[in-house]
Amino acid sequence: MRSFKLHHVLCGVCLNFSNNSRLYWIQNQEILSNTGKATIQLQDEWWGPGEQTPVDTSIRPFKIEIEQKVLDDLQQRLINARPFTPPLENIQQQYGMNTKLLSEIVEFWKTKYDWRQRETFLNQFPQYKTNIQGLDIHFVHVKPTKADGLKVIPLLLLHGWPGSVREFYEMIPLLTEPQPDRDFVFEVVAPSLPGFGFSSAACKPGLNPVKIGLVLKNLMHRIGFEKFYVQGGDWGGIITSNMATLFPEEILGVHMNFCLFRDQPVAKIILALQHLLPSLFASAEDRRKMAQSMIYPTREDGYFRIQSTKPDTVGVGLNDSPVGLAAYIIEKFTTWTNPNWVNRADGGLLEKFDYAKLLDNVMIYWVSNSITTSCRIYYETSCRIYYEQNTEETRKYRIDKIPVSVPTGVTNFESELFLLPEKVIRCKFHNLLHYNDVLNGGHFAAFEVPDALAKELWITFDKFLNYSKQHG
């Protein structure tokens, strides 16, 4: 009886693969050329208010300078916060942010966190703004300290949610300082994603990660890079994947420490077989990754459901209460850094971060009034596709199915939310030159373990450059 059921399950999987393959061919005739390269033609849509108008397209220096009245208001809100509901007995982070831990963080915020000092820290790197398609895009731009005789690698670094450019501050010097055994060095451009931090938000619906990729490509062109490399995690990893798919002639290579795609037929087959017959189709490490990835949909995706359907509603509360905002954001830095920290009263936070670093990130959302607009990326990606799946636009942008030939590197950190096996990643990224599993890191790798991620980038790009020398 068991073998009969298994036979039917496998037949169903194969039928699903067959149907997906036919659907893939039908839906993607207009977006794939005969060579298999993406030919999606994206338009430079206007995301600013009203009708398109002439804008200042210069690159303008920018510094973070928050008015004192904003800081005074914040202090009053912290002082006047209502008493916290105490956690249940013998509960750490299982119900969400432990309010004893939150009390400690808020007390630090009120009495020890000095925004003016942190503002100086955040302004240590050159920052700029420029208008792309009606959006004022903020970015950090750091050139190498010394580049004599070295090849300079233009690298676009992309963050995700609930992160910010703050995640990269410890890693940037590790990339822009020449290494004694390397003949190249990085020039880093780290933008705030549209609607995040100091980048303005779209005034019109529809700015999804595909179209954000176009905005960021145009940003790099504005800066002067016609061809460049991209690295990202979280939403930054998804946007990186999209850019490699959409712009293979302009993206020289990509690296992701969060590689996720869900609409690739062969990958679905492999994952299905690994789940059905793990002893035959999955290594011990693959089985560990599958088990860990199941934690997210069972315990961690509540925020995703809310932000994918009602981002503006949750944004009202988060935008009005700094304590609520801190709880909502910092909670992710516990269990997303290490799922086992759900059982720690201190959330494990001080093992990888300190309260000042975590509050820097929260403050970027608070002083820029951007939490609501940052949450909308979930709606644009999930809810619009779900409810409007028969529209021409959503059919056109199912780009997970399009193979990528751009040189690719993927680093899986041990405690990442989703961990795809190498054979699955190769279903989409056909030129995977570097794949590595790294211990002692989680979802916010650049922020948690900047040394480890920087090391991965140096190794990956060494392979990229050697590949380029061999293949022209």
Nearest Cα to 303, choosing from 412, 202, 382?
A: 382
Rounded-to-integer distance, Cα 7 and Cα 186, Å = 52
355 catalytic per annotation: no
Tokens in use for 420? 């795809």
For residue 186, what are the contacts with CB-CB under 8 A and spacing of at least 6? 144, 152, 153, 155, 175, 176, 457, 461
Tokens in use for 184? 């190249």
Q: If you write DSSP's letter for every residue of 194-244 in order, what string do you get? A: TTSTTSPPPSSTT--HHHHHHHHHHHHHHHT-SSEEEEESTHHHHHHHHHH
Distances in whole angstroms, Cα of residue 409 to Cα of each of 157, 256, 442, 472: 14, 6, 17, 19
Distances in whole angstroms, Cα of residue 399 to Cα of each of 37, 39, 243, 279: 11, 11, 10, 32
Cβ atoms of residues 339 and 294 within 8 Å: no
Query: What is the phi-psi region of residue 234: left when phi exceeds 0, alpha when psi lies from -120 to 50, beta otherwise?
Result: left
| Sign of the alpha-carbon torsion through 15, 20, 26, 29 | negative
* 372 three-state secondary structure: helix
Active-site choice (365, 378, 397, 435): 378
Q: Taking the CB of residue 423, how many other CB atoms lie within 10 A of it? A: 18
For residue 128, what are the contacts with CB-CB under 8 A and spacing of at least 6? 59, 60, 61, 62, 138, 139, 141
* DSSP letter assigned to residue 277: S
Rounded-to-integer distance, Cα 347 and Cα 331, Å = 8
Tokens in use for 60? 């303008």
141 catalytic per annotation: no
Tokens in use for 192? 């705030």
Residue 420: phi and psi, rounded to 5, are: -90, 135
* 71 three-state secondary structure: helix
Active-site choice (234, 286, 360, 400): 234
Radius of gyration of the chain (CA): 22
Cβ atoms of residues 171 and 186 within 8 Å: no
> Which sequence positions are flagged as catalytic?
234, 378, 443
